[in-house]
């Protein structure tokens, strides 16, 4: 039976497609435009926007399971209509299409950002959603996307939700913001590092967790897919050592970055570009303890050592993005 992956050309989608193929599954990859991540793979490709209800419904015909990895990531601190269009409207359209097509199981790839991360204490599945006034646009869009999945579950859909931490790893074809940071580090063009850190998770572990959720996850449940917390400086030092370069010595503390972030975002808006630095980015770097105990207990989820992820990521970037050898 066919398994459908939305956002199949994205970082998480590319890992999902490869994990499914490794299991001998028949994959139908839904992409919006850029298909580099699927080059050489034996998959059925369909170009479709997840907000296009008619084409989306046709793309799900005969699907036994659907992995919904399509999303619009945003660092904007003010309204972002496209994030809501894709993350909420696209999920609503997909849920409706799954119900009409009689899909056996939907695995919705959400994000930790869908949860209200402001409250103190460990972050686990009991956190409320970030669907509240004052929440960042991306956070609210991912929270409302989860509400669409829950609506589908109430209507009879068999669905589970997985929520990854900060994603790194190979198959980063576009590349992502972290992929760009690693590339700049390797090429010697990264001027400075930020303070703070995140819980980093290998994209291949996310894919493994999602497949386990399809097979063993309980209907209607959310599973956090965490990894290992490291400061940005330590992550960069590990990556630099892997390829034999020095990491930047300048480290900008979070307090200073918080002061400059609104100005940086404002300048991005003036020149008509998506912000690469904003108050949202600073918030994401504040330390937090993330528990993936539920996923470990129920799905057998075990994130690999971060050192292995960094070494294999830098090797992959060297091969696919012409990261020079030293």
pLDDT (mean) for 172-200: 93
* Mean pLDDT estimate for the chain: 92
Range name among 38-42, 64-68, 97-101, 115-119 with the lowest pLDDT average: 115-119
Nearest to 56 by CA among 106, 10, 111: 106
Range name among 10-14, 33-37, 139-143 with the lowest pLDDT average: 33-37
**What would the pLDDT profile of 289-299 be if each residue is shown by its tens digit?**
899 999 999 99
Within-domain flag for 172:
no
Range name among 150-154, 160-164, 253-257 with the lowest pLDDT average: 253-257
Within-domain flag for 270:
no
**Count of domains forming the chain:** 1
145: number of Cβ within 10 Å: 31
Domain containing 98 equals 2-167+200-228+289-304
pLDDT (mean) for 11-36: 96
Token pair belonging to 244:
């034999």
Look up the CATH number of the domain holding residue 16: 3.40.50.720
* CA pair distance 118, 234, nearest whole angstrom: 24
Place of tokens 């209507």: 155
Backbone torsions φ then ψ of 23, nearest 5 degrees: -90, 0
Model confidence at 265: pLDDT above 70 = no
Within-domain flag for 155:
yes
The pLDDT-based confidence of 216 (bands split at 50, 70, 90) is very high
Range name among 36-45, 246-255, 302-311 with the lowest pLDDT average: 246-255
Within-domain flag for 313:
no
Within-domain flag for 19:
yes
pLDDT (mean) for 282-308: 92
Within-domain flag for 180:
no
């Amino acid at each position: 039976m066919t398994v459908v992956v939305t956002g199949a050309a994205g970082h998480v989608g590319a890992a999902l497609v490869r994990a499914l193929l490794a299991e001998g599954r028949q994959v139908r990859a839904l992409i919006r435009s850029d298909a580099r991540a699927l080059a050489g793979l034996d998959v059925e490709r369909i170009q479709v926007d997840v907000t296009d209800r008619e084409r989306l419904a046709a793309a799900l015909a005969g699907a036994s399971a659907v992995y919904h990895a399509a999303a619009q990531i945003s660092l904007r601190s003010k309204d972002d209509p496209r994030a809501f269009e894709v993350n909420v409207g696209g999920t609503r359209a997909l849920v409706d299409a799954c119900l009409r097509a009689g899909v056996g199981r939907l695995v919705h790839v959400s994000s930790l950002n869908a949860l209200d991360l402001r409250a103190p204490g460990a972050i686990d599945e009991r956190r409320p959603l970030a669907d509240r006034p004052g929440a960042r646009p991306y956070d609210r869009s991912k929270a409302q996307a989860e509400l669409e999945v829950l609506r589908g579950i109430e209507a009879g859909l068999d669905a589970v939700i997985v929520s990854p931490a900060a994603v790194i790893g190979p198959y980063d074809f576009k590349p992502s913001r972290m992929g760009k940071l690693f590339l700049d580090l390797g090429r010697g063009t990264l001027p400075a590092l930020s303070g703070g850190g995140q819980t980093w998770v290998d994209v291949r572990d996310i894919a493994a967790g999602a497949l386990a959720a399809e097979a063993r996850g309980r209907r209607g449940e959310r599973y956090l897919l965490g990894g290992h917390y490291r400061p940005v400086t330590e992550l960069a030092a590990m990556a630099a050592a892997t390829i034999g370069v020095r990491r930047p010595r300048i480290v900008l503390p979070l307090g200073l970055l918080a002061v400059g972030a609104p100005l940086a975002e404002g300048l991005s808006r003036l020149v008509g570009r998506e912000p690469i630095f904003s108050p949202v980015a600073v918030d994401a770097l504040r330390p937090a303890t993330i528990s993936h105990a539920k996923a470990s207990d129920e799905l057998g989820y075990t994130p690999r050592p971060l050192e292995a992820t960094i070494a294999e990521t830098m090797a992959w970037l060297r091969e696919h993005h012409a990261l020079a050898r030293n």
